Amino acid sequence: MALTDEQLAAAFKQTGALLQGHFLLTSGKHSDRYFQCAKVLQHPEHTTGICERFVEAFRDANVELVVSPAIGGIVVGQETARQLGARFIWAERENDKMTIRRGFDAAPGERTLVVEDVVTTGGSVFETIDAVKALGAEVVGVASVVDRSGGTVDFGAPFSAAMTMQVTAWAPEECPLCEEGVPVVKPGSRKKPA
């Protein structure tokens, strides 16, 4: 059964997945909050419940393929594909560009759902969408565990997030935490911002 909003919030709290501090995001922006989804996704029961929300949202989209940007989206992408009875592949960075490699392919018109862990500006998702379209597949939707944009990112396809929050992100030169001299931390999987 899909996690309710309350159960999802409790899972983030219980696992320590919502961090407070001064963080450098993958987008290059700074924030005082960071979602470490891996801490929630290390528990299969949470992963299953989160992905059931995506399955509910895209049940009638006839999804044939799920694609996730590496590394954060791989766990939720795989589980979403399993629940939808779809195939799963991932995109990864090669020469600073999201690319579909490893012999993965997609058929022309293959109905594809892009699944990510956290969306702030949507950069990795947009790059993954471009990689999917370059293969000739059709993007029928996007899903993420957390939407930090508060619903402001438009992927040009239906978007479903398990948790939506408006979380402030500043350009480094506008960051009040930098002005206060608070050290910045980069906890994510990508060490170099886009």
Q: What's the pLDDT tens digit per position in 149-158? A: 888 999 999 9
For the domain made up of 5-179, the CATH class stated in words is alpha beta
Q: Residue 129, preceding bond cis, omega within 30 degrees?
A: no
pLDDT for the residue 188: 64
Mapping DSSP to helix (H, G, I), strand (E, B) and coil, where does residue 147 land? strand
Average pLDDT over residues 55-80: 96
Q: Provide the residue count of the chain.
A: 194
pTM reported for the whole predicted model: 0.87
- Decide if pLDDT at 66 tops 90: yes
Are 58 and 141 within 8 A, CB to CB?
A: yes
Over residues 99-140, the pLDDT tens digits come to 999 999 999 999 999 999 999 889 999 999 999 999 999 999
pLDDT for the residue 190: 53
pLDDT for the residue 194: 40
Taking CA atoms, 105 is separated from 25, 91, 108, 178, in Å, by: 30, 11, 10, 43
- Decide if pLDDT at 189 tops 80: no
Average pLDDT over residues 51-64: 96
Task: Give the pLDDT band of residue 193 (cuts 50, 70, 90).
Answer: very low
- Decide if pLDDT at 166 tops 60: yes
**Rounded to 5 degrees, what are φ and ψ at 65?**
-140, 140
Quote the CA–CA distance of 74 and 117 in Å, as a whole number: 8
> What is the β-pairing status of strands 87-94 and 65-69?
parallel
- Decide if pLDDT at 181 tops 80: yes
Q: Of all residues in the chain, what percent carry a pLDDT higher than 90?
A: 75
